[in-house]
Every structure is written in structure tokens, then in C-alpha cells.
A and B are shown apart, each in its own frame.
Chain A
């Protein structure tokens, strides 16, 4: 009987190892809470990120349910500031925390820190990332940054919106300094992870693995890492300047002190726009992996999909001003930003078309991961199309800072990144945990999430274009039925997400063991070269790459002279 240490990771590993009776894998190799907290194994680090991110997703999601519950009530015209379930100030703090936690603690790290960490070395045939100790430091920094945000929730609150616009953020009495410092530390973690991944992809690929033999997920993570490294320092310095402005009143962003609030917006969005590509590109990578594996077909247009990731990363650095069309920035600058915004839409469209074309003449299984691919394509398509309204200078004027924008970014960030993330977790679940999950409930979860999501966010497009502003505690009566519908939808969505959570928990504690090393019959190294659950050093011996990642057995190869 093993000594049970406290702490979930151990319990988790015990659950899995005791059911296995197999040789040691990365979960069972070393035991004890400290062996996890100070591990340098990229797989364990990925798992720890996963637990943290899932937890923060739950917290930020609860804030969202609080907001939607509040907005469900009939509004009384000319209400005072404290009329309803929660006060206006608490409402403002709730949406700030919802946004800040979701952006900084959940969506930005979601795919790279969990699946990126776990899969990157496996997919390229390496034993670990280039700098395993740095990887651990990144995780610790993530936790420290998170603690600063938790501190802010408990002490002082935060009511600036996740965007911290000055001069409101330099003047309000809430705990802005703690929050921006936490965000700064999180940014540092993000930068170090980006450095790590870039060097890993350049220097640690298996023999024979040329760039065009890499899985598209690796391309996606690589492009994301470039953005992480180049964009994050700018928001880092911006947040430091906000903190110093609050402490010392330098007069850089506050016009009452001689500064310029639009300078803040420019600095802030210089990072925060590329940040949304940090969020979505890895999601795109997941979809490429899932759609190929579950339809047994090579990706349609590998080079186009790969290069479009790089294209989006590069062009994405030059469009930040489309968040500022109505800010009072120069009208000419707005013109350039609008044009470039459409430029970045083209490679995005290419990807969507390529994924659908991949289905053609395939052999499609309606597994849980594949269901999430369909949900992704539907939701991300809507999100992307609604971006077109926002990129045009004149239509944006009417839609800016309304619920139309809120719906747009939820469709792409949640309907895009988060859905892809859930699909990816399901897809790689047997490799990460060695367990099977319940497919029926998995498919049910995708349907409930799909319905709940559309019910929550589609009405928001309509009320947005009808003039309903965002971040509003109160609203005019003509928007009531949309808010009601949206709030009901949010509870349905919550049910769907809880089904996902319970499905995963059930699998860990009661799930059947996975016996196959390659249950989906994938052709990339994380499936073909590993045990059911990878050993600590990933591979028994150095894998050699001899074919591309999507050369499935079912493919009928064209007949060439000399054979294949």
C-alpha cells in the first residue's frame, strides 16, 4: 500500500498506475507532490498547466454566469446604482475578472501550455523541449502571476475592464497595480515558453523530419511562439508604465498630467491584437490534426495551411488600430489598419476552406473529437464572418463597443480556441492519461455546448447591431428579450461544459484503461513511436522520420513509375 501524499497529481497518477500494472510511464515514473512541482518533464508540466487552466476556466465561467444571471432581470428605468442582485460596482468587477482571467490565465496559455507542452517534443521525436528547467520556471511564474490576480479578487477588486484603459485605470481606487503586475509576470511566463518552443522546433527535430514533414500543429505552435516572444514585451512595458503612472504620476498616459490616453491604447493593442492570434493559431493547429486523423485523409493544401499560419502571425502585428477606429486616432491611420485587417482575413479563410476540402472523399468517423471539429467550423466561421463587419471603417463605427463585438470575439475565442482545445484534449486523452473516455457523453457534450453557445451569443449579435453597448449593467427595455434568451443560453452552455468536465473526471477515476498505443491510427510520432502512455523520456530510442504526418494506411496512393 503506497503512502498517499496529499495533492491531486499524486492521486491522479496513483489512479492511473494502479489500474495499469504496466511498466512505468511518465505518470508513474516518480512519485510525490514535489516530484510534480519540481519536474522538468514537459508532459507533467503540460498536465499541471491543464489542471490550473481548467480551474481558472471554471472560476471565470462562474463570473460570467453571475453577469448573465444579473442581466436576466427586468430593468427598471432610472435605476440607482444598487438596484438589483448585485450592485453596479460589483457587476463591473465581475466582468473585469471574467475578462482578465479568461484572457490571461485561460485562453492565451490554453493550447500552448497544455497540449503544446505535452505534444511538441513527441511530435518532432525529441526527448523534451530545448530548455526543460526554463519550462518549469515558466509554470511557476504562471502560478505566481495567477496568485497576484487572485489577490486582486480578494483585496481591493478591479473595475477597469480587462483592457485597463487610461485615465480610468490610473485614477480608480481598485487594485490595479497588483493586477498589472500579475499580468506582467504571466507575460514573462508566456515569453519564456515562446523562446523554448522556437528553439525546440529549430534544433530538436528527429532525423529526417524536414519542416514540411512536421505536423501542422507544430507549425501552429511555432508561429504562436514567434508572436509570444515579439508582442508580449510591449504589453509588459505598458503595464509597468501604468503601475508607475499610478504610483508616481509621470504623466505619460493621463492627459490631466500632460500625457496621452491614446498612447496607452496603441501600446496595449500592439500586444493584445497579436494576442488573439496567440489564442487562435494553436487552435487551428489542433483542427488540422483532428480533421485529418478522423477523416483518414491528408490535409488539403499542407503548404498553404502551414504558410498561412506564418502569414497570420506576421500581418497580425500590423492591424492593432482596428480596435481604435472611434478612439480619436488619426483618420488616415484608421484607413491603413482597416486595409491590413482584410489582408489578415485571407489566410484565415484559406484555412477554413482547406479543412472542409479535407473532408472530401474521406472516411469520416463521428468520434467526439470530430464532433468538436464540426462545432468549431460552424462557430469559428460565424465569428470570422462577423469580423468582416468590424473591419470596415463605416460599419465599425456603429458596432464598436456594442454587444456585436462581444458576440464576435466569443465566437472566435470560445467557439474557436476553446472548442478546439476541448476537442484536442479529447483526441489526445488516451495518450495523456492512458484511459478511455465515454464517447456517447462526449458527443452529447458537443451538442449541448453547440446549442447553448449559439443560444447565448447569437442574440448578442442582434442586440449589438440594434445599439446595445457592452459592459452595461443597465439597459433600455427594448433589449430585454435578447438578454433573457442569452442568459438562458449561458446556463445551457454551462451544462454542456459541466458534462465535459464530468466526462473527464469520470474517465480518470472510473474509466476503462486504454490498451492501444494508437487508438485513432494516427501517423504522427506522438502516436506511432510511443507506448500507450509515454515513458518519461518519451521514446525507447530516437525515432527517425520517414514520412509525412498524414500518410494514413487507408490512402490510395497515385501510381508512380518506380513504385512508392
Chain B
């Protein structure tokens, strides 16, 4: 028979069978998330390296292509994500303080920010498509478009891949938040059991940090 006693108290149902204590479970959950984020960083680093390489190969082309990037929209998106990171942190704090209503509110606020980000991003893509800046072999700038460099399809291809991958991570984050919302509404989280929320928050911060690097690289660096 496996030993289930934990200093006398009943086995909490959110303590998994293979862990000895909530401390162990929480600490393991956190470490796991940090390790996972390490690999996410390397994933995006690959894309950053590719971009840096293209920039060194075609500096004028990249400079010209970057004139089509709207730094104001990008800036608004950056602020939105920063706010969402704040609301996500506050969400975790609320859960740890056993404040279910605040947890739900901040979760919804974060999700709203995420959706807003995606909307603005989609609009930006739409504006680029309007100019004929399709990715790769479909790149076909309209005659009035300012970017006509023959290699500009490379910049835009990478731009769509990088922002697309980032956007995919935002979608995943939103999905995680929906799941967290369901669990919060089912009263699963409290001051002892919150590590899933914290991990979701960590993931969201990572998504934010990636954007903090993407934005200047794509929009600002000239």
C-alpha cells in the first residue's frame, strides 16, 4: 500500500499521487515550466538568427522593407502585451490570495488583450497584403507600393513566419487561459494549488518577451 499520509492531514485531491507534498509538486511544476521556456527561447533564437543573417546579407533591402512597417501599430501592440502581462500576474496573485472573482476578471482581461493584439496584427497583415506584399513566391507589390526590391520577398517571408509563430504562441496562450478559466470557475485554484496558473502566466510572459525583441528588430532597427 502506498503511503498517503502528509503530516496527518487528508490527501488533498489536487496533490498528484507520485508527489510527496504540495511543495514538491509546485516546485516541480515551476522548474518544468522554466526548462520548457528555455527551449522556447532557443526556438525563437533560431528565427532571430535567420533574420540577423538576412539583414547582414541585404542591408538596403531590409531598410527599405522596414519602411512599410507601421511602428505605431506595433507600439500599440507592445503596450497591449505589457498590460496583459500585468493583468496575468495580478491574476496569479489573486488566485494565491483565494480571490476567485479577481482571478476570473484578470484572466478575462488578459485574454481580451490577447485578442486585441491578434486583431491588430491581422489588420497589419491585411495592410501588407493590400500592397501586394505576400510571402515568398507570391510576393507581387502593386506599382504604387514603396517596397519594390527584388529580394524584398525574403524580408516579408521571414516577417510573416516570425510574427506568425509568435501569433501561434498567442493563440496557444489564449487556449491555455480558456482552460485555466474553466478550472478557476470550478474552484480548483487556491493559495496552495496555483502552479498551473503560474505556469500559464510564465508562458504568457515569454510570449511578451519574444515580442519585446521582435518589435524593435522588425519595426525599429534601421
A234's partner among B24, B42, B150 (CB-CB below 8 A) is B42
Scoring A residues 244 to 281 as 1 if CB is less than 8 Å from chain B, else 0, what string do you get? 11011111100001111001000100000000000000
Chain A interface mostly helix, strand, loop or mixed? helix
Complex alpha-carbon distance, A132 and B3, angstroms: 19
Contact A128 B154 (CB under 8 A): no
Inter-chain contacts of A231 with B (CB < 8 A)? 42
In the complex, whether A349 has a CB less than 8 A from a CB of chain B is: no
Complex alpha-carbon distance, A325 and B17, angstroms: 52
Chain B nearest CB from A552 CB (Å) reads: 30
Q: Which A residues, 113 to 136, have Cβ-Cβ distances below 8 Å to chain B?
A: 126-132, 134
Q: Residue of B at shortest CB range from A229? A: B39
Contact A263 B53 (CB under 8 A): yes
Contact B43 A233 (CB under 8 A): yes
In the complex, whether A163 has a CB less than 8 A from a CB of chain B is: no
In the complex, whether A198 has a CB less than 8 A from a CB of chain B is: yes
Q: A234-B46, A259-B154, A260-B57 are in contact. Are A250 and B32 (CB under 8 A)?
A: no
A203's partner among B28, B54, B137, B151 (CB-CB below 8 A) is B28
Residue of A191, A202, A250 ringed by the most chain B CB atoms within 10 A = A250
Q: A204-B28, A252-B54 are in contact. Are A195 and B42 (CB under 8 A)?
A: no
Inter-chain contacts of B136 with A (CB < 8 A)? 244-245, 247-251, 257
In the complex, whether A238 has a CB less than 8 A from a CB of chain B is: yes
Interface residues on B, range: 35 or more
Q: A126-B18, A233-B39 are in contact. Are A248 and B137 (CB under 8 A)?
A: yes
Contact B18 A128 (CB under 8 A): yes
In the complex, whether A237 has a CB less than 8 A from a CB of chain B is: yes
Inter-chain contacts of B39 with A (CB < 8 A)? 191, 195, 229-230, 232-233
Q: Residue of B at shortest CB range from A132? A: B18
Q: A250-B135, A250-B153 are in contact. Are A233 and B40 (CB under 8 A)?
A: yes
Complex alpha-carbon distance, A233 and B31, angstroms: 18
The A/B interface has a contact count, at CB < 8 Å, of 125
In the complex, whether A196 has a CB less than 8 A from a CB of chain B is: yes
Inter-chain contacts of B1 with A (CB < 8 A)? 540
In the complex, whether A542 has a CB less than 8 A from a CB of chain B is: yes
In the complex, whether A541 has a CB less than 8 A from a CB of chain B is: yes
Scoring B residues 129 to 161 as 1 if CB is less than 8 Å from chain A, else 0, what string do you get? 000000111100000000000110110011001
Complex alpha-carbon distance, A258 and B62, angstroms: 13
Contact A203 B31 (CB under 8 A): yes
Complex alpha-carbon distance, A94 and B70, angstroms: 50
Chain A nearest CB from B43 CB (Å) reads: 4
Q: Which A residues, 166 to 221, have Cβ-Cβ distances below 8 Å to chain B?
A: 191, 194-196, 198-199, 202-204
Residues of chain A at interface, number, CB under 8 A? 46
Scoring B residues 1 to 12 as 1 if CB is less than 8 Å from chain A, else 0, what string do you get? 111000000000
In the complex, whether B115 has a CB less than 8 A from a CB of chain A is: no
In the complex, whether A236 has a CB less than 8 A from a CB of chain B is: yes
Complex alpha-carbon distance, A130 and B20, angstroms: 11
Inter-chain contacts of A237 with B (CB < 8 A)? 43-44, 46-47, 165
Complex alpha-carbon distance, A113 and B32, angstroms: 18
Complex alpha-carbon distance, A229 and B33, angstroms: 12
Chain B nearest CB from A191 CB (Å) reads: 5
In the complex, whether A398 has a CB less than 8 A from a CB of chain B is: no
Inter-chain contacts of B44 with A (CB < 8 A)? 237
Inter-chain contacts of A466 with B (CB < 8 A)? none
Q: Residue of B at shortest CB range from A536? A: B2
Scoring B residues 21 to 40 as 1 if CB is less than 8 Å from chain A, else 0, what string do you get? 00010011001100110111
Complex alpha-carbon distance, A230 and B45, angstroms: 11
Complex alpha-carbon distance, A198 and B35, angstroms: 8
Contact A199 B35 (CB under 8 A): yes
Contact A541 B3 (CB under 8 A): yes
Q: List 29 A-B contacts (CB under 8 A).
A: A127-B17, A194-B35, A195-B35, A198-B32, A198-B35, A199-B32, A202-B31, A203-B28, A203-B31, A204-B28, A231-B42, A233-B39, A234-B42, A234-B43, A236-B46, A237-B47, A240-B165, A247-B136, A250-B135, A250-B161, A251-B153, A251-B154, A252-B154, A252-B157, A257-B137, A260-B53, A267-B46, A267-B49, A537-B2
Interface residues of B (CB under 8 A from A): 1-3, 16-18, 20, 24, 27-28, 31-32, 35-36, 38-40, 42-47, 49-50, 53-54, 57-58, 135-138, 150-151, 153-154, 157-158, 161, 165
Interface residues of A (CB under 8 A from B): 126-132, 134, 191, 194-196, 198-199, 202-204, 229-234, 236-238, 240-241, 244-245, 247-252, 257-260, 263, 267, 537, 540-542
